[in-house]
Amino acid sequence: MIRVVLPHHLRRLAHVDAEVTLDVAGRATRASVLDALEARYPMLRGTIRDHVTQQRRPYLRFFACERDLTHEPPDAPLPDAVVSGAEALLVIGAIAGG
C-alpha cells in the first residue's frame, strides 16, 4: 500500500481529507503511483502531469524520505520505505507569495 500526500487544492479537487492510499502492482515507481492515483481519482488527470506529454507541472515537486525525488527518472523505483508504507510520497506545490 503506497501512501501519497497531496497539496491542499488537489485534496479538495479529489474530495479527500487526508493522505491517499493506493495499491500499485509490481515495483512502485513515481510513474506507476501517479498512474494509480489518476485511475482512482480521474479528476486529478492533467493537474500533476500534462495530459499528453506526461511532463510534471513546473511548480510541483515530489519528496519522500527527506529527499527530493523530482529529478529522478519517472520509472525509477521508489525508496523501500515508500513501498512498505512507512513513508509517504509527498506531492508539493511551490511556495509563492501573494
The residue ranges that bind other proteins (CB under 8 A) are 7-10, 13-15, 23, 38-43, 45-48, 50-52, 57, 59-60, 93-94
The nearer residue to other proteins, 41 or 62, going by C-beta atoms, is: 41
The DSSP H or E segment spanning 91 is: strand 89-93
Closest approach of Cβ 39 to other proteins, in Å? 7
The nearer residue to other proteins, 23 or 66, going by C-beta atoms, is: 23
The nearer residue to other proteins, 37 or 87, going by C-beta atoms, is: 37
The nearer residue to other proteins, 7 or 77, going by C-beta atoms, is: 7
Closest approach of Cβ 83 to other proteins, in Å? 19
Query: How far is Cα 9 from Cα 5, in angstroms, rounded to an integer?
Result: 12
Closest approach of Cβ 4 to other proteins, in Å? 15
Residue found by looking up cell 529522478 in the block? 72
> How many Å separate Cα 79 from the centre of its chain?
14
The single-letter DSSP state of residue 77 is B
The DSSP H or E segment spanning 36 is: helix 30-40
